[in-house]
Amino acid sequence: MKGLSLFSYIKQVHEGKLKPADVAKEYLQKAHADPYNAYLRVHDAYVERHLAEFSHRNLCAAPIAIKDIILTEGEISSCGSKMLENFVAPYSATCFANLELQGGLMIGKTNMDEFAMGTTNENSAFGPVKNPVDPTRIPGGSS
């Protein structure tokens, strides 16, 4: 599934060539095996709860990663900070709520500079993110 665009994913789901459950499973496995420290949390239970319903929406349960500063109701949103490492969001940010409404399926929350105070993804309280192309270089900012 390397290089699969959102448009291609949706088209292949509608044609019966891809199954959202299979794609979600593959992306969950990749997120769990993340060697770059890009994911802070992987949301298996969220995927299980929403996969069937979101598969019938516009985005067909397309797997998405959400930056840890974006509030996601009922899930931890720590902003890359130990101070908020157990903060469970009481509501979802509008941008995330709109993605859910259209059927975007959150695989997990991504690492970031603490409180978005940085540009290199090296200043997370949970450790720096590694550049997948060249680990000796910075990966760049999370935004």
pLDDT tens for residues 70-109?
999 999 999 999 999 999 999 999 999 999 999 999 999 9
Question: Are the CB atoms for 116 and 96 separated by under 8 Å?
Answer: no
The Cα 73–Cα 53 span in angstroms is 17
Model pTM score: 0.92
The Cα 18–Cα 100 span in angstroms is 20
Side chain identity, residue 4: L
Q: Alpha carbon of 100 to those of 34, 60, 109: distances in Å?
A: 24, 10, 14
What pLDDT is attached to residue 142?
Answer: 59
98 contacts: CB under 8 Å, gap ≥ 6: none
pLDDT tens for residues 30-75?
999 999 999 999 999 999 999 999 999 999 999 999 999 999 999 9
- Residue 119: pLDDT above 90? no
What pLDDT is attached to residue 65?
Answer: 96
Q: How confident is the model at residue 132 (pLDDT cuts 50, 70, 90)?
A: confident
- Residue 18: pLDDT above 90? yes
What pLDDT is attached to residue 88?
Answer: 98
What pLDDT is attached to residue 141?
Answer: 74
| Partners of residue 93 on adjacent β-strands | none
Instruction: Please name which of 88, 21, 99 lies closest in space to residue 65, comparing C-alpha atoms.
Output: 99
